[in-house]
Amino acid sequence: MFKTNIADIYAAYANVESKICVANIENDIREYINDYRMMAAIPWNTVDNVLIPINVKQMNHWVLAVLLLVERHIHVYDSYTTAGHDSFVRVEIQKLA
């Protein structure tokens, strides 16, 4: 499913007939699509962790959620700790739970 989604995104943004292309060989997404990197269609039983970057729009900040599949935990890595910030992060993380 991930590979299909990436392929659809690529098709929407890259016109192969045009001389101008937003996705060229240097772009990581295209490398995944063209199988120059790790296959996206690997079996889930071989995956231990899933890294999920999350944008906290209210704070204009990104956090990293690490989904530990075997332990069924979500670890959150956040470099920005201020009063009230955790509540915005919690709302975004609960969307994954």
Q: Render 25-55 in DSSP notation, one character per residue.
A: TTSHHHHHHTTSSS-S---GGG--EEEEEEE
At 27 the pLDDT is: 58
At 88 the pLDDT is: 85
pLDDT 10s digit of each residue in the chain, 97 long? Answer: 666 766 776 676 665 565 555 555 555 666 666 666 665 567 777 888 888 898 888 888 899 999 898 898 888 898 887 767 788 888 888 887 7
Q: What residue spans define the domains of the chain? A: 2-33, 44-94
- pTM beyond 0.95: the answer is no
Residue keyed to tokens 């956090």: 63
